[in-house]
């Protein structure tokens, strides 16, 4: 059995400190906001897995289609010996790449969840026992130090997750990724594409109400971790398309005038009736825009692949 190494680059109390800071900052500003990363406790992750199977939610299926049809081509172009996956989660989709890379020596999954990393590694090593797996418990949006691994290296950031970052955050993130790349290394980036508004809104407001439960789960997380008294039923799930910025916003709308207490922060938060709190931005992209954002970070887009219906794209870029 090849080695499985787990390295923690986050302090043990980093998650609690980050949650406190995000809730305090987000709920004392106007308009109120919460970062989407707090959706993903165990229940939130299970709800998101359910979302990816819904008929309205196309991105996961579209990206998987590209990976299935293009993995051999990606492998031929990159000849990667190390695959680094940012926000790896279950590593389920990445297995198409892992299986296609003949020279792959090391897989480096990066996630904030130790349990997700351990579970994914155990599943992967059961079928690929010769693969070295060096997992990192880290927040890749706050800078990243990678272990020494053989090149060429392929950094994968899949799922359209880059769309959850605001433009300035995307620029900083891509610049930080560029700093990790040596000659011969590459970035594989998943981006959801601009399309008909009705398709986009449906993907984030499904008829079964699973996305609504997922959105409200952030309130349950704050209740549990910070002793808050949010009533999730006192909020409605809202998904809207912002044409100017070309992104979907998920929001929680207060059904009534109410005050929420958060004892761990010694904070009381007032909500007006129908006041909306933004919980996620999910930007959608066009090829020219992706190319321009990569170029601004000194990355050159060399390959662009979409699913058959042109809903989602994977791009490959190298140091400019």
Burial class (CB in 10 A: 0-12, 13-18, 19+), 53: exposed
Q: Which residues pair with 6 in a beta bridge?
A: 135
In the chain the domains, ranked by start, together with CATH numbers, are 1-139+148-226+285-320 (3.40.50.150)
Q: What confidence score (pLDDT) does residue 281 get?
A: 97
- Global model pTM greater than 0.85: yes
pLDDT digit string, tens, across residues 161-206 = 999 999 999 999 999 999 999 999 999 999 999 999 999 999 999 9
What is the per-residue DSSP string for 222-254?
A: HHHHH-----GGGEEEEEEEETTTTEEEEEEEE
pLDDT digit string, tens, across residues 225-243 = 999 999 999 999 999 999 9
Q: Which helix (H) or strand (E) holds 96?
A: helix 95-100
pLDDT digit string, tens, across residues 62-75 = 999 999 999 999 99
């Amino acid at each position: 059995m090849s080695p499985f190494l787990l390295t923690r680059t986050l302090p043990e109390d980093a998650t609690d400190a980050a949650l406190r800071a995000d809730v305090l900052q987000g709920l004392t500003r106007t308009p109120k906001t919460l970062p989407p990363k707090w959706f993903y406790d165990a229940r939130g992750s299970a709800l998101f897995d359910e979302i990816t199977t819904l008929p309205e939610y196309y991105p996961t299926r579209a990206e998987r289609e590209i990976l299935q049809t293009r993995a051999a081509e990606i492998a031929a172009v990159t000849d990667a010996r190390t695959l680094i996956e940012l926000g790896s989660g279950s590593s389920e989709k990445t297995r198409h790449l892992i299986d296609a890379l003949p020279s792959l020596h090391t897989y480096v999954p990066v996630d904030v969840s130790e349990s997700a990393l351990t579970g994914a590694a155990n599943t992967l090593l059961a079928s690929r026992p010769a693969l070295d797996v060096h997992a990192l418990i880290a927040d890749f949006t706050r800078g990243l130090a990678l272990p020494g691994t053989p090149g060429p290296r392929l950094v994968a950031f899949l799922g359209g997750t880059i769309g959850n970052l605001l433009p300035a955050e995307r620029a900083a993130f891509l610049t930080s990724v560029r700093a990790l790349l040596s000659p011969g290394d590459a970035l594989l980036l998943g981006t959801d594409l601009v399309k008909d508004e009705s398709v986009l809104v449906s993907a984030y407001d499904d008829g079964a109400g699973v996305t609504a439960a997922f959105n409200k789960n952030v309130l349950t997380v704050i209740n549990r971790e910070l002793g808050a008294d949010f009533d999730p039923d006192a909020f409605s799930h809202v998904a809207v398309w912002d044409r100017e910025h070309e992104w979907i916003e998920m929001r929680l709308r207060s059904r009534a005038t109410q005050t929420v207490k958060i004892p761990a922060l010694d904070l009381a938060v007032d909500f007006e009736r129908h006041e909306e709190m933004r919980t996620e931005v999910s930007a959608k992209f066009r090829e020219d825009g992706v190319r321009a954002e990569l170029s601004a970070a000194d990355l050159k887009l060399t390959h662009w692949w979409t699913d058959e219906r042109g809903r989602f794209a994977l791009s490959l870029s190298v140091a400019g």
